[in-house]
Structure 1
Amino acid sequence: MKIGVVCPYAWDIPGGVQNHVRDLAEHLIRLGHELSVLAPADDEATLPPYVTHAGRAVPVPYNGSVARVNFGFLSAARVRRWLHDGDFDVLHVHEPSSPSLSMLACWAGSGPIVATFHTANPRSRAMTVAYPILQPTLEKISARIAVSEYARRTLVEHLGGDAVVIPNGVDVGFYERAEPKPEWQTQPGQGGTLAFIGRINESRKGLATLLEAFPEIAAARPGVRLLVLGGGDIEEVAEDLPADVRDQVEFLGRLSDEDKARLLSSVDVYVAPNLGGESFGIILVEAMSAGAPVLASDLDAFGLVLEGGQVGRMFPTGDAHALAKDAIELLENPEERARLAEAAALAVRRYDWSVVAADLLAVYEMVTTDPLAVASAPDIEALAAGELGAGELLEP
């Protein structure tokens, strides 16, 4: 099958959507499909052979973060040329409700179009205001996918219609095989090792809550370390840390995917203190795949991944004292950490690309073989009944 995939966000800036598109593309190529990705990137960025450069991206505030997208007449011309040259059997766009390449591809595309919606923001005024503009775009979409029930709810409440829920995928084996790195593991005399991964200056990622909790953790667990992976202004983030614990927080900057996996396989607890705006929680699945027990804020999206706290510990969002209390309990209890890791190892199987890609391919097959599906919304009831193999992922 010839598949065209549009990534709306800058390819060279790490992010959940970019990683999802990359891993999906590489998995489908390994299965023998012919696939091309269109994405913005800096002119100097090194791109894999399956990615077509769509021009430089500009930062735009979006959903509590900063999205790097491109949009305009020149971008539209690049989209039309890519679509013409690709002659795809199916076009798969991500986040078509944002002003980006994905929206332009929906406008210019013809034939089967599959759209994945990642955003979870039930109170999005921007989507409500933009509905009249988005409606013609949505009518061209043959099948709609949401990465979680909360992304689906955002779509339904603001744009109408419905979507089948197919989660983000993870190469579970890649994280399972990662070898721990001795310098990131807890050494004799240390009180344990915690990790955080995310853009450190993005407030919704919750690093400030974790740093607020860290002195309490350090008081109870002398020598405990916090390893922080992610880009941003380190001095700005670290300036509020008390001097007596500052040396116990290590900022690692950005690391390769291989080193990220090794980090997750090395630490005692992975902490996700996010404050909101999360539609899924792919980093939780990555940590669980690597064997790291997870301690996360009780966001609804995180609760789904952690099965309501059965395969990971959860604390009230934004509560630094509760975070510290749970972190201390986990660091003091290796048996509980082992139990959580064992339960998580089973839970992550449903997110492996072998499962997720099969469900996506079922949707592709539906829209390319059924003319009625191309002309109208996806047959959600058929998907829910399991006729396409994705029914078990459709949330009620």
Structure 2
Amino acid sequence: MRIGIVCPYAWDVPGGVQFHIRDLAEHLLSRGHHVSVLAPADDGTPLPPYVVSAGRAVPVPYNGSVARLNFGFLSAARVRRWLQNGAFDVIHIHEPASPSLGLLSCWAARGPIVATFHTSNPRSRAMIAAYPILQPALEKISARIAVSEYARRTLVEHLGGDAVVIPNGVDVDFFARAEPKAAWQSGPGDAAATGAGSGPTIGFMGRIDEPRKGLPVLMRALPAILAEVPGARLLVAGRGDEEEAVAALPPELRSHVEFLGMVSDEDKARLLRSVDLYVAPNTGGESFGIILVEALSAGAPVLASDLDAFAQVLDQGEAGELFANEDADALAAAAVRLLRDPARRAELSERGSRHVRRFDWSTVGADILAVYETVTEGAEPGRSVAADEPAGRTAQD
């Protein structure tokens, strides 16, 4: 099958949607399909052979974050050329309602279109206001996928229609096989030990300077955690202003925080395999929570804010513990209890490792392929050419 996948966000800026698209493309390629991904990318960005650049993206505030999107006449021309050259059997557009390549592709393509909705935003006035503009494009979609029940609810309430829920996928074995790194594991001694580096390690991953990722909540909880578990360390992976991140922390406690910067996929897996507790203090705007699935795959005990999407991923607290969103005291109390209870952490690790198998690409990929097969059944192959371009003609920049 010839499959075209549209990524709305800049390929060179890491994010859950980009990672999902990358892993989906590589899974489909491993199954023998022809796959091409169209994505925004700055000049000089190293791209896998299956990714086609649609040009540079611009930062736009979107869903409580800053997304790097691609829109305009030049982008539209590149979309049309990609569609014409690809002659795809099915187009898979991610976030078709965002003002980026997804919407442009939805307008331009003809033939079977599958759309995945990642956004969870129960009160999006912008989406409601834009519906009259979006409707003609969205009506061309043959099948809709939502990555969670909460993303599906956002779609239904704002844009109408419905979607099948297929979660984000993960290569469970990649994380399960990773080798822990001694420098990121507990030091000699136990949770009652004193001195930074001599006790358990807590992991956090996310953009440091994006408040909704929750690092400020974790920093507010850290003094109470260290008062009860003096040797604990917090390992932070992600980009952002490190000095600003610890500015509110008492100077004598700052040595307990180690910033790792951006880490590779291999080091992400090793970090998750190494920590005694992974904390996800995100405050909102999450439709799924792929980092939770990755942590569970690595066998890390997980403590997360009780966002609806996180509770769903963690099986309502059975596969990982939850604390009240934005409540630093509740986070600290739960973290201390878990750091002092290795048996409970081992229980969470074992439960999480069983639960996470439902998110493996062997299952998720098969479900997505089943959607492709449904929409392409009876369709003429290779009919993804731009709607107003005659076959054989290539759109020019």
- In 1, the alpha carbon distance for the partners of 2:267 and 2:136 equals 44
1:191 Cα offset (Å) = 2.7
**Does residue 1:301 correspond to 2:304, yes or no?**
no
Match of 2:294 among 281, 286, 289: 286
Which residue number in structure 1 is paired with residue 142 of structure 2? 142
Q: Secondary structure at the match of 1:247?
A: helix
Q: How many pairs were matched up?
A: 372
- Tell me, in whole angstroms, the C-alpha distance in 1 between the residues paired with 2:14 and 2:355: 25
Which amino acid in the other structure matches residue 274 of structure 1?
Answer: N
Matched with 2:276 is 268
1:330 aligns with 2:325: no
Task: Tell me the C-alpha RMSD between the 2 structures.
Answer: 0.9
SS of the equivalent of 1:93 reads: strand
What amino acid maps onto 1:176 in structure 2?
A
Pairs within 5 Å for 1:159-174: 159-174=159-174
Q: Which residue of 1 aligns with 2:395?
A: none
| Alpha-carbon distance, 1:370 to partner | 4.7
The equivalent of 1:315 in structure 2 is 323
Q: What is the CA deviation profile of residues 43-96 of structure 1, one whole-angstrom value per residue up to 9, with x for unaligned ones?
A: 011000000011001000000000001100000000000000000000000000
1:244 matched residue in structure 2: 252
Amino acid at match of 1:52: V
2:216 aligns to what SS in structure 1?
A: helix
Partner of 2:51: 51
Q: 1:216 aligns with which of 210, 217, 224?
A: 224
In structure 2, the partner of 1:363 is: 371
| Shift, 1:244, TM fit | 1.3
Residue 2 (1) aligns with residue 2 (2): yes
Partner of 1:87: 87
Identity of aligned residues (%): 71
Aligned-partner residue type, residue 158 of structure 1: H
Q: Which amino acid aligns with 1:80?
A: R
What secondary structure is seen at the aligned counterpart in 1 of 2:144?
Answer: strand
Aligned residue for 1:380? Answer: none
2:263 pairs with one of 255, 261, 273? 255
Q: Which amino acid aligns with 1:136?
A: P
Letter in 2 for 1:156: V
Matches within 5 A, 1:179-190: 179-189=179-189, 190=198
Matches within 5 A, 1:44-123: 44-123=44-123
2: CA distance, partners of 1:205 / 1:265: 21
Q: Which amino acid in 1 is paired with 2:303?
A: L
Mind listing any 5+ residue stretches in structure 1 that lack a counterpart?
Answer: 372-396
> Could you tell me which amino acid in structure 2 is paired with residue 107 of structure 1?
W
When normalised by structure 1's length, the TM-score is 0.93
One-letter amino acid matched to 2:322: M
Q: Is the 8 A contact 1:175 1:286 kept in 2?
A: yes
> For residue 339 of structure 1, what is the aligned residue in structure 2?
347
Contact 1:191/1:331 (8 A) holds in 2: no
Distance of 2:126 and 2:241 partners within structure 1: 29
Per-residue CA deviations over 1:329-384 (Å, capped at 9, x if unaligned) read: 1110000000000000110011000000000000000000056xxxxxxxxxxxxx
Distance 1:369 1:108 in 2: 21
Separation in 2, partners of 1:191, 1:252: 18
Question: Which contiguous aligned blocks of 4+ residues in structure 1 show a shift greater than 6 angstroms?
Answer: none
The residue type paired with residue 2 of structure 1 is: R
Counterpart residue number, 2:36: 36
Give the Cα–Cα distance (whole angstroms) in 2 for the partners of residues 234 and 39 of structure 1: 30
* 1:303-328, Cα deviation, whole Å (9 max, x unpaired): 00111111101000000011001101
Q: TM-score, normalised by structure 2?
A: 0.93
Please tell me whether residue 196 in structure 1 is matched to residue 204 in structure 2.
yes
In the TM superposition, residue 233 of structure 1 has moved relative to its aligned partner by 1.1
1:292·1:341 contact (CA, 8 Å) conserved in 2?
yes
SS of equivalent residue, structure 1 residue 66: strand
User: Residue by residue, what CA displacement relative to the aligned partner does 1:243-272 show, whole Å, maximum 9, x if unpaired?
Assistant: 111001001110100000000000000000
Tell which has more relative contact order, 1 or 2 (C-alpha 8 A, sep 6+). 2
